[in-house]
Chain A
Amino acid sequence: MMEERARQAEDGAGFIRIENVSKSFGSFKAVDEVSLSISKGELFALLGGSGCGKTTLLRMLAGFETPDAGRIFIDGQDMAGVAPYDRPVNMMFQSYALFPHMTVEGNIGYGLKYEAMSDAERKDRVREMLELVQLTPLAGRKPHQISGGQRQRVALARALARQPKLLLLDEPLGALDKKLREHTQFELMNIQYKTGVTFVVVTHDQEEAMTLANRIAVMDKGVVRQIGSPTEIYENPKSRFVADFIGSINRFAAAIVYVKDGIAVLDCAELGQPLQARAEDGFEPGMRVTAAVRPEKITISRERPEAGNVLSAVVHDLGYFGKDSLYRLQLPTGKMISASVVNTRRAGENERIAQWDDAVFLAFDPASVILLRD
């Protein structure tokens, strides 16, 4: 035990270890043999749809649920049998769960009420927290007298006041409107950086997870599908589920014909022509795979361009979103492909790169094609 602590203190890896944790509610397996390791000071996100087990995992870290099997270590300490009030963990609740009968100050100071510390220390800590989230002028207000964004900051300050080793955030931006979210996102990252506390964020919003977190665990049906940095998860999804869940993607069923110089040539009936893709080790001729391309990796042009993969298509539909436009294009085989084009030029409606029913060429690099084993 002692050596283990010493080792962890060195590099901070395995600061939080979740080992083969399972939890069922009746016949429903909420969390199924999940193992995770989170480093000290990380901003880690658990990402997944509703019912994927992310919230159950969070509640087990907080101590509100007991794992049926497996163990959870925080800073080397086994959490089995440790009550929520004895854990070095605090949580920012999705609904914020602010005490309606206490002031902002009272809420933030509540977690220190039963701590062994002097009144002066307590006061200092509360003041410090109020400053951290810039709420000093509102210290005397009740939760129903402040705005949603301010409530979110009170909840954050309240959870940080006890200086936890681990802060859990349940959909931290879920209750905020779109404008406020972006601002709050950066504020949250800033506060995490300043305090150095390890954050575990639960969210169903992939954009939120990608901008906030250093690392993301994508969960589905109680199982962790992939763990990695936002870039890894987006650019190198390891399964169809992760590829589909994060962003949008075009998928084609294909078979590898041959591999040469790290480039695989695929036979793809849906495209009506061969497809080139960069292949990593382990992809052999004859394998059935799914080839996937993200819409923004595809360029649209009127003249046939020089590229690894060029397809001809007809514009079926287009949607203008301001900063970019999304095209739905139909291949001669009938297959639909999505491509997004960043609107780099200021242009009128008639000056678009392509209009409805125009015949165009689509091009993308072999390196942009993701190969997924079925």
Chain B
Amino acid sequence: MMERALPPSRFGQWFNTSGWRTIIIAAPYLWLTAFFFLPFLIVLAISLASNAGTSPPFQFAAEAPYVHADNFRRLISDDLFFRAYIASILNAGLTTALCLLIGYPMALALTRFSRSVRNILLMLVILPFWTSFLLRIYAWIGLMGANSWFNKGLTALYNLITPDAYALRFIPMMNTSFAVVLVMVYCYLPFMILPLYANLEKLDMTLNEAAMDLGSRPFQVFKDVTLPLSVPGIIAGGLLVFIPASGELVIPSLVGNSSTPLIGRVISDQFSYARDWPMAAAVAIALLVLLVGPMMAYTHFESRAQRRPGDDA
């Protein structure tokens, strides 16, 4: 190609030598600094300020060091926050455990099909993920209601196997913690299946054959070979479920029980209704700190998994 046909302008020259590189790095860097890092620093700063009747509603202390940790102290002393953290972590933990329990056999089953069948089944797993998140919640609201065919069916089944004295007109499912976990499992299950499948699919089937050749029965092969080798997939899937689940806002607001607010709801309420920006910021920062541990574990495992093939002796 004749690049020299046109005399390059000064900008053109700069661009061709080093400018293109600078632009490629700088544009996303500046954008993320302005709209991701700066907001994060603002939240961090506000979490160290006091609530005030001003606009915006926060104020730094008048004298050095201008900041204080009162908000974080309140996190521990105030029962509301403490209980919300515990409830959220239990909730996210239960969701993650159930997703693993259902998702692992599903992912393992997917690897046992021929390539073409597998692609179709995989598409069936991903399809709900592409449909709207809200509508998936909505679909369950339709099923859980007292008058739905699903609830009626379950009630009939329940009444069939329990004594008449305990007979129910319907099973109360909506607005319970059960509903929250059920819908969270429903929404987050693909996030568990996909990384697990990606991990399991890469496992060398001859390792299974080798274990069997060495005298192990199918379940022993699973326990000794497949399970330990899929730990990175379990961790990846677990974090992909646990992290968003811990801050989930929409699902509890639609199907949950408002008497035990979860942490996402607390942050949102402190901000919108109580107009206590510093407290909302402190709750958010504390949640992030709680999540840093698992995140570090994740990056640790990922980098270890990537280092593997390279460090051959």
Contacts and interface: CB of A to CB of B under 8 A. Distances in A.
A62 B208 CA distance: 13
A146 interface: yes
Given A85-B216, A115-B215, A144 B210 contact: no
Given A101-B229, A144-B311, A144-B313, A93 B214 contact: no
A61 B39 CA distance: 66
B234 to A, nearest CB: 14
A93 B206 contact: yes
B177 to A, nearest CB: 38
B313 A147 contact: yes
Contacts of A114: 215-217, 220
B211 interface: yes
B212 A100 contact: no
Contacts of B213: 62-64, 84-85, 89-91, 159
Contacts of B217: 85, 114
B207 A97 contact: yes
Contacts of A98: 210
A91 B216 contact: no
B215 A97 contact: no
B211 A99 contact: yes
Interface string A22-52: 0000000000000000000000000000000
A219 B209 CA distance: 25
A62 B213 CA distance: 7
B4 interface: no
A91 B210 CA distance: 7
A12 to B, nearest CB: 24
A145 interface: yes
A99 B207 contact: yes
Nearest to B308: A144
Contacts of A288: none
A111 B229 contact: no
Interface string B274-313: 0000000000000000000000000000000000110111
Given A64-B209, A110-B224, A147-B313, A158 B204 contact: no
Interface in A97-114: 97-101, 110-111, 113-114
Interface string A130-147: 000000000000001111
Contact of A95 (B204, B212, B308): B204
A162 interface: yes
A99 B229 CA distance: 9
Determine which residue in A63, A113, A145 has the highest number of CB atoms from chain B within 10 A of its CB, and name it: A113
Determine which residue in B210, B309, B311 has the highest number of CB atoms from chain A within 10 A of its CB, and name it: B210
B146 interface: no
B228 interface: yes
A180 to B, nearest CB: 14
B67 interface: no
B44 interface: no
A146 B212 contact: no
B225 interface: yes
B312 A97 contact: no
A158 B220 CA distance: 17
Contacts of B229: 100-101
A89 B311 CA distance: 33
Contacts of B313: 144-147
A99 B225 contact: yes
A114 B212 CA distance: 11
Contacts of A97: 204, 206-207, 209-210
Contacts of A159: 213-214
Contact of B214 (A64, A95, A101, A162): A162
B215 A111 contact: yes
Given A93-B209, A145-B313, A101 B216 contact: no
A147 B311 CA distance: 11
A90 B224 CA distance: 18
B236 to A, nearest CB: 17
Contacts of B224: 99, 110, 113
Determine which residue in A89, A99, A145 has the highest number of CB atoms from chain B within 10 A of its CB, and name it: A99
B215 A85 contact: yes
B209 A84 contact: yes
A158 B207 CA distance: 13
A110 B214 CA distance: 7
Contact of A162 (B211, B215, B228, B312): B215
Nearest to A145: B313
A305 B118 CA distance: 71
CB-based closest 8 A-B pairs: A111-B214, A97-B210, A97-B206, A84-B212, A85-B215, A91-B213, A101-B228, A145-B313
7 contacts: A83-B212, A91-B210, A93-B209, A97-B207, A111-B214, A114-B220, A144-B313
Interface of B: 204, 206-207, 209-217, 220, 224-225, 228-229, 308-309, 311-313
Given A64-B212, A144-B308, 14 more contacts: A62-B213, A85-B215, A86-B215, A91-B213, A95-B204, A95-B206, A99-B224, A101-B228, A110-B216, A111-B214, A113-B220, A144-B313, A159-B213, A162-B215
